Structure 1
């Protein structure tokens, strides 16, 4: 029996960065179902309505920022265990610490080149999609 494709929510306000990361991920794993939103409010609505296996999150966004979204994800029973990977331009140690304290599973700086995005995508798929077991509370509810 074929396993259902993994679903990834990309929360990124910069359309160019979003295009780079989604293209690299799609080329690395063509079965990955990727949904992109540009605002945290859109992400909240989608996360309430649909199942996602992972969230790739930029913390530097206008309006409700990624840090606030991360706190909302962790405080919601339905999404509290969904792996959240912060992918952001900030390498500020206080942003890193705040992200982990708020419940991020991983924190990485955005790549500065297309080859960097490919390397990120390959590492993401190898670790999160191919080698990591989902938390028992993250069963599909579709």
Structure 2
């Protein structure tokens, strides 16, 4: 699927973090079409009706947490194997372990700088688009 745009849904309630993510992917020049939703319920509805190649998921959101959404996604045929990358402000090992136990494919701590977000986007693109074989 090289050369064609892949679809990423970003599930995060923090507009500042989302802006950093969108800008970083744009700066990295990656062929990723990004959709943003602000909470787990919107994400759930969108993922029911549309296929995405990757899910970037925050843990701490009002209402349904990212961890609960992750469990829900893994229980559904449509999203059971879609790569889910947790992007959270938490570096707590309990959160990290729970994310992997619930089926996350990767866990990253939100960067604290613009260049950190750019490094994340470049690393994401290099691994998920250039190296990994998608389901």
Q: Which range, TM-score by smaller chain?
A: over 0.9
Structure 1 position 89 matched with structure 2 position 92: no
Q: Would you say the 8 A contact 2:84–2:104 is kept in 1? A: yes
Question: In the TM superposition, what is the alpha-carbon distance from 1:2 to its structure 2 partner?
Answer: 7.4
Aligned residues: 135
Question: In the TM superposition, what is the alpha-carbon distance from 1:29 to its structure 2 partner?
Answer: 3.0
Question: In the TM superposition, what is the alpha-carbon distance from 1:129 to its structure 2 partner?
Answer: 1.2
In structure 1, distance between residues paired with 2:74 and 2:30: 29
Question: In the TM superposition, what is the alpha-carbon distance from 1:99 to its structure 2 partner?
Answer: 0.4
State which drifts further: 25-34 or 82-91: 25-34
Where structure 2 has 5 or more consecutive residues not aligned to the other structure, the ranges are: none
TM-score of the superposed pair, with normalisation by structure 2: 0.96
Where structure 1 has 5 or more consecutive residues not aligned to the other structure, the ranges are: 136-142
CA RMSD between the two structures: 1.3
In structure 2, distance between residues paired with 1:5 and 1:29: 11
TM-score of the superposed pair, with normalisation by structure 1: 0.91
Structure 1 position 125 matched with structure 2 position 97: no
